[in-house]
């Protein structure tokens, strides 16, 4: 039996490798034919902030952690709006409340109130899949549109220009072309309650997520992206946004995935998001820290594999924070982690973890919905893009990236303090030391407690079920079937 399983493992590995090569070659051909030839070139430049997306100076970037911080910030900006509020989201629910304060208005009431005082409110939502295979269904999207618009001056338009089996996944808010929010937070409780805090108290399912609040010239890029989509879908001409005055010291780049043949304003699409990730990861010298809902992309995995096999520094580390049970593609993520483990080859440079909520004897899962990348404390990205073929090639997505080391480092320290349950002051040292002496011992101890059937005492734990070969075929095959 053991020999037979070993044979199956080897066949699974070889077939998985072959399918991934076919998938990557398909992506290269597709981007080459669209004029994006250099994006997937492994010999391309390793300058993190570069490529075709413009880099804007003079911005202020604030990374908002979890719904407790991000949702009230969005509400406060909407309440202060004087000219317009523009929202683009995967899905939004009219009865969703951005705060849990007594008497808090629903999103519909908040937007309708702004519209009543003369603020132009436009909401652009995905129309849902053409067949009711998953949420939000087209019926649900239409129902929510009616709730937003009936009896109010709010305009809500549904965008059905998705690629087959894909969606409009971006999550952004623009207020008066002066402040913008870009991140992973949906304005809905569909598939999970977005309200959570860094303490992650036990409840049916916790929700870890991030959003960036932006001021400065880059806001015009976010506003222009919304304007172009809205103009094409709603057929309403909007004036080009004015560029705000400098508001801080951060250079910021708006990174997008806009699939080809979706919009007339970008017939050959835009793939600066995968370009930005690959540039940054290729440049990594000491640390790659990723929080993401999925880790399917073979292009991303290949860069990490090369770094693990030939580390640029003895103290090079890769730390991953992923959900224990992603909404789909669990085996695909496990398969890529198996490849990364093979590349690490026992050198313990790779650490794959997840988190849960704990309070005495009570515990509950925390869903990692964040989409964050930090490289060497000098590059940071936050947005809506997962590390899979959907987000990097086929869904509409928006991220921001900055090479401001103060923003990257302070964000990493905040997140590590949250996950490790330690004050920031304890985490100021070399990241490799913190990974080796705090992250790994904690995660391994909690995994051992789980193995023995004992109660866990900390939220951090090794990602369970990570093996060297797990369903390698599913990821490449899914990519080939749904990737146009």
Q: For the chain, count helices (H), then strands (E).
A: 13, 18
According to CATH, the topology of domain 7-54+253-482 is Endonuclease; Chain A (3.30.870)
Q: What is the pTM of this model?
A: 0.95
Using left for φ > 0, alpha for ψ between -120 and 50, and beta otherwise, residue 180 falls in beta
Pick from 442, 481, 167: which is nearest to 158 by CA?
A: 167
In the chain (484 residues long), the average pLDDT of successive 10-residue segments reads 63 76 91 93 76 96 97 98 98 97 96 98 96 89 98 98 92 98 97 91 91 98 98 97 98 98 97 96 97 94 96 98 81 80 95 87 87 98 96 97 98 98 96 98 95 92 71 59 56
d(CA 259, CA 395): 7
* Residue 100: HSE in the Cβ half-sphere, 13 Å Cα cutoff: 10
As a whole number of angstroms, the distance between CA 253 and CA 87 comes to 20
What CATH number should be reported for the domain whose range is 58-248? 3.30.870.10
Is the peptide bond preceding residue 257 cis, with omega within 30 degrees of 0?
A: no
The predicted pLDDT at position 484 comes to: 47
- Nearest Cα neighbor of 415 from 383, 460, 447 is 460
- For residues 173 and 179, give the distance between their C-alpha atoms in angstroms, rounded to a whole number: 8
Note the pLDDT of residue 19: 80
Of the candidates 204, 179, 206, 213, the residue with the CA atom closest to the CA atom of residue 69 = 213
pLDDT attached to residue 205 = 86
Strand spans (E) along 79-154: 84-89, 120-126
Res 131: pLDDT: 84
What's the pLDDT at 174?
98
**Is residue 198 packed enough to be buried (19+ CB in 10 Å), middle (13-18) or exposed (0-12)?**
middle
Q: How many CB atoms lie within 10 A of CB 204?
A: 8
- Run of H or E including 429: none
**Which is it for strands 206-208 and 362-368: parallel, antiparallel or unpaired?**
parallel
Fold match between 7-54+253-482 and 58-248?
yes
Helix (H) or strand (E) holding 115: helix 107-116
pLDDT per position as a tens digit, 96-118: 999 999 999 999 999 999 999 99
Report residue 26: phi and psi, to 5°: -60, -45
Query: How would you classify the pairing of strands 172-175 and 120-126?
Result: unpaired
pLDDT at residue 15, as a whole number: 77
Are 372 and 292 spatial neighbours (Cβ–Cβ below 8 Å)?
A: yes
Alpha-carbon span 269 to 217, nearest angstrom = 23
* 8 A C-beta contact, residue 338 and residue 468: yes
DSSP helix/strand/coil, 287: strand
Cβ-Cβ contacts under 8 Å for 87 (sequence gap 6 or more): 121, 122, 123, 124, 172, 173, 174, 187
Q: Give the count of alpha carbons within 13 A of 76, CB side only.
A: 9
pLDDT computed for residue 301 by the predictor: 94
CA–CA–CA angle 14, 20, 22 (5° rounding): 105
Please name the residues in contact with 222: beta carbons below 8 A apart, sequence gap of 6 or more. Answer: 172, 174, 180, 182, 214, 254, 398
Q: Where are the domains of the chain?
A: 7-54+253-482, 58-248
User: Rounded to the nearest 5°, which phi and psi values hold at 191?
Assistant: 70, 10
- Beta partners for residue 84, in sequence order: 120
Q: Please check whether residue 444 is in contact with residue 301, taking contact to mean a CB–CB distance below 8 angstroms.
A: no
Structure-token pair, residue 270: 């835009």
Q: What are phi and psi of 65, to 5 degrees?
A: -105, 120
Phi, psi of 286 (to 5 degrees): -125, -35
pLDDT for residue 398: 98
Where are the extended beta strands (E) located within 35-170?
55-65, 84-89, 120-126, 155-159
350 with 344: CB under 8 angstroms? yes
Are 88 and 171 spatial neighbours (Cβ–Cβ below 8 Å)? yes
- Phi, psi torsion values for 240, nearest 5 degrees: -60, 140
pLDDT at 396: 98
82 token code pair: 């004087």
Cα 431 from Cα 437, distance rounded (Å): 10
Helices within 117-249 (DSSP H only): 138-149, 218-234
pLDDT at residue 123, as a whole number: 98
Query: How far apart, in whole angstroms, are the C-alpha atoms of residue 430 and residue 172?
Result: 34
């Amino acid at each position: 039996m053991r020999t037979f399983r070993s044979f199956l493992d080897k066949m699974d590995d070889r077939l998985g490798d072959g399918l991934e090569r076919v998938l990557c070659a398909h992506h290269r051909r597709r981007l080459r034919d669209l004029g994006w030839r250099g994006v997937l070139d492994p010999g391309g430049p390793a300058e993190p902030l570069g490529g075709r997306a413009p880099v804007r100076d003079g911005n202020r970037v604030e990374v908002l952690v979890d719904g407790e911080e991000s949702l009230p910030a969005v509400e406060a900006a909407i309440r202060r709006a004087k000219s317009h509020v523009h929202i683009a989201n995967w899905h939004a629910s009219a009865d969703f409340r951005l705060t849990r304060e007594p008497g808090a208005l629903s999103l519909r009431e908040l937007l309708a109130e702004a519209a009543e005082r003369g603020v132009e409110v436009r909401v652009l939502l995905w129309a849902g899949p053409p067949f009711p295979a998953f949420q939000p269904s087209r019926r649900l999207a239409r129902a929510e549109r009616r709730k937003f618009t009936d009896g109010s001056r709010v305009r809500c338009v549904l965008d059905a220009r998705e690629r087959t089996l894909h969606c409009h996944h971006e999550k952004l808010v623009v207020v008066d072309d002066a402040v913008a929010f870009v991140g992973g937070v949906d304005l809905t409780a569909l598939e999970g309650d977005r309200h959570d805090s860094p303490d992650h108290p036990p409840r049916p399912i916790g929700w870890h997520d991030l959003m960036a609040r932006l001021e400065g010239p880059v806001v015009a890029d976010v506003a222009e992206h919304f304007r172009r989509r809205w103009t094409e879908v709603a057929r309403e001409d909007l004036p080009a946004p004015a560029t705000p005055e400098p508001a801080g010291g951060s250079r910021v780049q708006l990174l997008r995935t806009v699939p080809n043949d979706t919009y007339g304003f970008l017939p050959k699409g835009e793939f600066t998001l995968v370009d930005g990730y690959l540039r940054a990861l290729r440049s990594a010298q000491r640390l790659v820290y990723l929080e993401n809902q999925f880790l399917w992309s073979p292009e991303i995995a290949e860069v990490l594999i090369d770094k693990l096999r030939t580390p640029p520094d003895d103290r090079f580390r890769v730390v991953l924070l992923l959900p224990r049970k992603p909404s789909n593609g669990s085996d695909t993520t496990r398969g890529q982690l198996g490849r990364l483990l093979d590349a690490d080859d026992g050198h313990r440079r790779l650490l794959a973890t997840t988190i849960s909520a704990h309070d005495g004897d009570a515990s509950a899962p925390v869903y990692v919905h964040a989409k964050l990348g930090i490289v060497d404390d000098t590059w940071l990205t936050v947005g809506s893009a997962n590390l899979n073929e959907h987000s990097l090639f086929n869904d509409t997505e928006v991220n921001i990236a900055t090479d401001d080391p103060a923003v990257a480092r302070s964000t990493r320290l905040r997140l590590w303090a949250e996950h490790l349950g330690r004050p920031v002051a304890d985490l100021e040292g070399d990241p490799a030391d913190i990974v080796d002496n705090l992250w790994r011992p904690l995660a391994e101890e909690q995994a051992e407690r789980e193995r023995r059937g004992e109660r866990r005492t900390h939220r951090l734990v090794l990602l369970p079920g990570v093996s060297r070969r797990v369903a390698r075929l599913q990821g490449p095959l899914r990519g080939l079937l749904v990737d146009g």
